[in-house]
Amino acid sequence: MEKPVLIREDGLRHDGRKPGELRPIRMEVGVLKNSDGSAIVEYGGTKVIAAVYGPRETYPKHLILPDRAIIRCRYHMSPFSTSERKSPAPSRREIELSKVIREALEAVVFTELFPRTTIDIFIEVLQADGGTRTAGLTAASLALADAGIPMRDLVAGVAVGKVDGVLVLDIDEVEDEYGEADMPVGYAAGIDEIVLLQLNGVMTKDEVLEGIKLAKKGAEHIYKVMKETLYKKYLKALES
Ligand code: ADP
């Protein structure tokens, strides 16, 4: 396909958003009855579900850590999540994303409260339209909160990109594919800590700093929606 116009003459993006605008967000917790915690998160056309099990007994036993819980994380794209069927076998990309999401969450979970146990996080991409790792991180953080696992803070993920020379928030698949750079960020707004930061492509130092500012602004909004989503569930539980 020929490269589409990413920034139109009126300054808006190919889907009509302003550079600093997020896609419509939807989220819900407690969506799976068999897990200890779960969440579904949508950023525009990207739909991701996360399930958390634990803290539970660690198997195999040699993996046990005497002073804290281990966190295991599997990020997976379902075969029907992409326009062409994706092989269900874990790719190198999925192995990398599982690791960076796990490390981001290890920064906020109080693992020392649950020695010898395991916390399992499963992230399943149902529909991919850019930003699946960041939506996955948001969903996993919500699912951990839904499971009642103590954390220093919630983490909101969002990617910033550079398209046609312009920094834009929450890039979609077209912007990811045809843009110059993509910088996913995981931000714990309450404690003001960045727990995930990656960069694909090339940006100047100033663009990176500007991009981080933009990502923090977007993540702060997502963080608010996450809190509201959790409150809503507990209010509902109190009412019934
Ligand atoms: P992220 O989803 O976190 O932005 P990438 O930058 O690696 O991660 O991928 C960007 C987008 O490219 C994905 O959201 C998805 O829409 C698409 N994509 C990634 N992997 C595949 C794949 N194997 N087949 C088809 N599309 C893919």
Best residue among 95, 134, 173 to mutate for probing ligand 1, ranked by most atoms within 8 Å of CB: 173
Q: How far apart are CA 70 and CA 115, in angstroms?
A: 8
Query: What does each C-alpha distance from 187 to 155, 169, 177, 221 come to in angstroms?
Result: 5, 14, 24, 11
> In which residue ranges of the chain is pLDDT below 50?
none
pLDDT at residue 122, rounded to an integer: 98
**CATH number given to 25-239:** 3.30.230.70
pLDDT digits (tens, 9 = 90+) for 204-240: 999 999 999 999 999 999 999 999 999 998 888 888 7
**Where do the domains of the chain lie?**
25-239
Residue 46 tokens, joined: 């990207």
Best residue among 42, 43, 76, 77 to mutate for probing ligand 1, ranked by most atoms within 8 Å of CB: 77
pLDDT at residue 90, rounded to an integer: 94
Residue 42: which H helix or E strand, with range?
Answer: strand 37-43
Residues whose beta carbon lies within 6 Å of some atom of ligand 1:
82, 86, 93, 128-134, 159, 173, 176, 182, 184
Terminal Cα-to-Cα distance of the chain (whole angstroms) = 53
